[in-house]
Structure 1
Amino acid sequence: MQTQRRGRNVIEWVERQLRLALPGYCAFCLGEVPPGDAWCAPCFASLPWNKKACRCCGEPLPFAAAMTCRECVDSPPAFTRAHVPLLYQGQVRQLMHDFKFHASPRAGVLLMALFKETLAQCPTEALIPVPLHQKRSHERGFNQSQWLSKELRRTWDIPIINAVRKVDTPSQRLFGRMARRHNLEGVFVMTARLPKRVTIIDDVLTTGATAHALALAAKEAGAEEVDVYALARTPRY
């Protein structure tokens, strides 16, 4: 027990250092910033924020953020709404790549710090990280959605309830939006009964097909309202 506690303390100390990247300097432009800040105001403002988005799936829109996109009107997803504050572009794209494929602690902590800037209070009763198939998990050795969920759990003090990915499906990059949904039918199953309101946690939301399939599994396990929280959105067009 004492060893585990010491390990957690070391990890927390490292993360505190990483949150500041280079103390006194902006994580993006290396300009000077006030002590304790991780970025400067101009760099923060210039990030690709997803300000005008579909209230259901987070797709960036050319009109008011309170609207719903055409795809969600024609074929509503199983989840209720998506909170996706950034676009998968520019510096965010590079950070996401370093985080997802290289398990970069600096990129992960910086992305989570940006994400938390957009959150107010705990909106849910449980977190559901998007699971990897066991084979893919062994190959990659890192599940970014699980890491994000653990960071949010530390902030909100709510449980993580895991799902299982039963089938190692082909890459979603090979399919269009509706084909992606069919590719993921029946892929996920929950490991426990769920409370009424839950939130799926992912890193990047593209078509929302994965979140849709996981939301269906969540509702089969007792959830009545399912939201999706992701760091960044890949625009469809």
Structure 2
Amino acid sequence: MKNSKVYLRLFFNQPCFLCRLHTAGASGLCDACHADLPWLIGCCPRCAEPRSPRIPPDQPCGRCQTSPPGFDRVIAAFGYAFPLSQMIPGIKYHRRPALLGGLAATLAGLLQERIETPPDLLLPVPMHPWQESVRGFNQAALLASELGKRLDIPVSHSTLRKVRRTGHQAELDRRSRAINLRGSFALSGRVPERVAIVDDILTTGATANELAKLLKKAGSNEVQVWVLARTPSN
């Protein structure tokens, strides 16, 4: 976390993060690239599963109706499509965390429009210490720090801990992901009534669901999930 300010700093009069041709605005993107991002227009109000905008916005998807998740609401800015499908892996696997700056600014603006009562605390999805040391940073922690600063919400980097290393979730199906995560997280200290879990992507929701159950067992009544992008469930 010591390099987070360097990673996330947005400089004025800098080129757009995407096209590198035009001057970036407050989001870190030029107006054209900002407009072309894969905004999530239609989605389930509970899990943010992408779907047709013609479905009533207050109607939960079938999965949330038959098997409600532990979390209460997901807010995602984008669908997981180009260029997010290149930017986010670039952040994590090609050590380009500076790209988080513009995306965090955009997500913060969206949250300001949608959140009536802000949570009391932001909690980034934790990485196992060994995995974080190999990567050099936790992108969820960097994102949570930037959102906390922009929205004036406290962030805790120690409340949630990953205590067991797990295999790559991307290689597993929905059921296997849930099994893979059991018992891999721990919680320290007390938690407030309203919290928001912060991560870069939500796929099946297995990680968010596991953390939400842990937080509600510890006393939280409302658990939201804030992510940059939501993928279609497989």
Coarse TM-score class (shorter-chain normalised): 0.7 to 0.9
Q: What is aligned with 1:21?
A: 14
Select the residue among 108, 132, 135 that pairs with 2:100.
108
Within 5 Å, give how 1:92-107 maps onto structure 2.
92-107=84-99
- 1:205 and 1:233 in contact (8 A); partners too: yes
Q: Does structure 1 conserve the Cα–Cα contact (< 8 Å) formed by 2:28 and 2:101?
A: no
| SS of residue in 1 equivalent to 2:167 | coil
Q: Identity of aligned pairs, percent?
A: 35
> Aligned pair 1:136/2:128, yes or no?
no
The match for 1:46 is 36
Residue by residue over 1:14-57, the C-alpha shift from the partner in whole angstroms, topping out at 9 and shown as x without a partner, is 8231x6532xxx44345546976744444322211111011111
- The TM-score, its normalising length taken from structure 1, stands at 0.84
Aligned length: 226
Match of 1:190 in 2: 187
Pair 1:149-2:139 in alignment: no
1:173 aligns with 2:155: no
TM-score by length of 2: 0.85
Structure 1 residue 119: deviation in Å?
Answer: 1.8
Contact 2:48/2:74 (CA < 8 Å) preserved in 1?
Answer: yes
The Cα RMSD (Å) is: 2.6
* Consecutive unaligned residues in structure 1, runs of 5 or more: 1-6
Q: Which segment drifts farther, 81-90 or 101-110? A: 101-110
Larger Cα-atom Rg = 1
User: What CA distance in whole angstroms lies between the structure 1 residues aligned with 2:193 and 2:41?
Assistant: 28
Aligned counterparts of 2:125 and 2:26: Cα–Cα separation in 1: 32
Distance in 1 separating the partners of 2:79 and 2:73? 17
Q: Where does the alignment leave 5 or more consecutive residues of structure 2 unmatched?
A: none
Specify whether residues 44 and 224 from structure 1 end up closer, same or farther in structure 2 by C-alpha distance, changes over 3 A only.
same
* Match of residue 77, structure 1, among 69, 91, 99: 69
Q: What is the CA-CA distance between 1:212 and the residue it aligns to?
A: 0.3
The answer to whether the Cα contact below 8 Å between 1:126 and 1:198 also exists between their aligned partners in 2 is: yes
* Residue in 2 that maps onto 1:214: 211
Supply the AA of the counterpart residue of 1:89: A
Alpha-carbon distance change, 103 to 123 in structure 1, aligned in 2, over 3 angstroms: farther
